[in-house]
Amino acid sequence: MESSKDNTQKTESNKQSKFNKLQEQVDEEVREKWTEEQFQLKEQLIEENKFDWYLPLKDNEEYNKQQEDEGKVKLEYIGACDIRYTPI
Rounded to two decimals, what is the model's pTM?
A: 0.42
Q: Which of the pair, 29 or 79, is modelled with greater confidence?
A: 29
pLDDT digits (tens, 9 = 90+) for 31-78: 899 889 988 988 888 888 788 888 888 899 999 999 999 999 888 887
Sign of the CA dihedral with 34 first, then 35, 36, and 42 last: positive
Report the b/e string of 2-21 with b at 16+ CB within 10 A. eeeeeeeeeeeeeeeeeeee
Per-residue pLDDT band at 10 (split at 50, 70, 90): low
Residue 84: the pLDDT is 66
pLDDT digits (tens, 9 = 90+) for 15-35: 668 888 888 888 999 989 988
Q: Per-domain residue ranges for the chain?
A: 4-74
Half-sphere exposure of 74 (CA within 13 A, CB side): 11
| pLDDT beyond 80 at 14 | no
